[in-house]
Amino acid sequence: MKTTRKTKRGAAATKQLRTLLGPRKVLLEGDRKFMASFDSSKLSFEYDALIVARSEKDVGETLRLANRHKIPVTTRGTGTSLTGSASPVQGGWVLDMSRMKRIAIRKEKSMAVVQPGAVVSAIQEAADAEGLFYPPDPSSLKYCTIGGNIACNAGGMRCAKYGVTRDFVVALEGFLPTGEKVSWGGEYKKFATGYNIRDLWIGSEGTLGVVTKAVLKLVPKPESTWTSVAAFDTERKALMAVKALLKEGFAPSILEYLDEDSVYCAEEIAGVRLFKSVGGKPLLLIEFDGSRAELRAVRSRLRSWTDKYTLAFKSARTEAAADNLWEVRRKCSGAMFAMGNAKLNEDIVVPLESQLEFAREIKRLRKRWRLPMPTFGHAADGNFHVNIMFHREDKAERERAENAVRDLMETVVRLGGTISGEHGIGLAKSPFLPIARNKAEIGAMKAIKQGLDPNGILNPGKLFEPFQVWEHTPVTVHLPWDKKPILKR
């Protein structure tokens, strides 16, 4: 754990906050405080106090005092961020929002009004109970909060058809870093009343404000879903099929690609084999949703596509069978640890027209850096997860992995894409921001940050200051959402 500066002023401010909010909301030690010293990146830092917010008043008081005494504040939901965006790199206070988790469904408006600590799957369940649907579905949805999703503009598999978190945020309410209360919109769909700071907050990784309430858009629940899987001769053919499918006007709700290495992991290591006749071939997992009549029409239209492109194709007739098909996607990630014991999951984006070249580039990267890089992900929006596998204790491998990440980032930007589609920048990707954004763009971002947070107290040290991840040893703690690794050397 890295030690950060502690000041007398900080200690006095912490004491003052404890008096204001009470000792049960301002924790100075204990397991809960330790667990909030890192997120899923497991980059851990010392800090002064954990503030467990239970009301807007707690958030306002904390920020006002922090701003007056220039104490760093890192807001957090449940700490599933993979980039270190919720790790308190500059110490100070951590503001835990996970206890503010009320959910109210406004059926007549097709909206949900939620507090930031509401867990995403709980919002989906509450919407479902009213015959409505909240589509964004990060794989961490059973654990992560809507506040974290808004701050990271989280995505997921269903974004292929429905879009990302941003597309479902109607309005936000919360506090500026100075502790002043603000609201951007309300329970109405239209607003043209000055700058759209709501959208600036979305994806700002908790650096521009603290969300205390969100109004979310809900859509009608689809009547039915249809899940299928297709195997292809080559990765090239699979990606050509993706392009053709979208060009022909199909709108799958999910279109997940697994390259040969990912399929190898699922089949050979995790023992999940979907086709008896063909093994080791790249796959597409495809889901359509809609009315039964729409799905019937899709099924019959899809036949010419499957005839032309696929080596094997099958669809699920029951929910249980569909769940079986998803096993290949669920299991491949944990099985990747067979190819190393450390994994860098880079969530890059490449435009549709560059996907074939991207697949060629992954082969080049593998060869150049001599590391396995199983790649899977959301083919419809080009958001692929490149998993760079290495052994942490092997210094040479570690260095090659570090170089491979930079090479990958430069490659995707050259292909017209970007370095993160859903995980964000945080600490882990901060050295690469200048690859994806030019000086003027970074300057504009910094000007916004300076304007809203003149004392630089909110989530400092993220995005703009290049952080050397490799110099830090992650903590060894098993988190509930960790994939069980299958280790082999």
Ligand X SMILES: Cc1cc2nc3c(=O)[nH]c(=O)nc-3n(C[C@H](O)[C@H](O)[C@H](O)COP(=O)(O)OP(=O)(O)OC[C@H]3O[C@@H](n4cnc5c(N)ncnc54)[C@H](O)[C@@H]3O)c2cc1C
Residues that bind ligand X (CB under 6 A): 39-40, 74-82, 85-86, 97, 116, 138-140, 144-145, 147-149, 151-152, 154-156, 205-206, 210-211, 422-423, 459, 481
Question: Measured from the CB of residue 385, what is the shortest distance to ligand X in angstroms?
Answer: 9
Per-position DSSP letters for 145-197, written without gaps between them: BHHHHHHHT---TTHHHH--GGGGEEEEEEE-TTS-EEEE--SSS---SS--H
Question: Measured from the CB of residue 80, what is the shortest distance to ligand X in angstroms?
Answer: 3
Q: Cβ closer to ligand X: 44 or 315?
A: 44
Q: Cβ closer to ligand X: 134 or 369?
A: 134
One-letter identity of residue 435: I
Q: Cβ closer to ligand X: 65 or 97?
A: 97
Q: Cβ closer to ligand X: 201 or 264?
A: 201
The answer to whether 389 and 373 have CB atoms below 8 angstroms apart is yes
Question: Measured from the CB of residue 169, what is the shortest distance to ligand X in angstroms?
Answer: 12
Q: Residue 361: in which H helix or E strand, if any?
A: helix 355-369
Taking the C-alpha atoms of residue 139 and residue 99, their distance in angstroms, rounded to an integer, is 22
Q: Cβ closer to ligand X: 257 or 313?
A: 257
Query: How is residue 363 written in tokens?
Result: 């082969």
Question: Measured from the CB of residue 210, what is the shortest distance to ligand X in angstroms?
Answer: 4
Query: How is residue 304 written in tokens?
Result: 């010419």
Question: Measured from the CB of residue 253, what is the shortest distance to ligand X in angstroms?
Answer: 15
Q: Cβ closer to ligand X: 152 or 339?
A: 152
Taking the C-alpha atoms of residue 392 and residue 413, their distance in angstroms, rounded to an integer, is 27
- Show Cβ contacts of residue 320 under 8 Å, excluding neighbours closer than 6 positions: none
Question: Measured from the CB of residue 25, what is the shortest distance to ligand X in angstroms?
Answer: 16
Q: Cβ closer to ligand X: 153 or 228?
A: 153
Taking the C-alpha atoms of residue 98 and residue 73, their distance in angstroms, rounded to an integer, is 16
One-letter identity of residue 432: F
Question: Measured from the CB of residue 274, what is the shortest distance to ligand X in angstroms?
Answer: 21
> Torsions phi, psi of 287, nearest 5?
-130, 135
Residue 89's SS3 state is coil
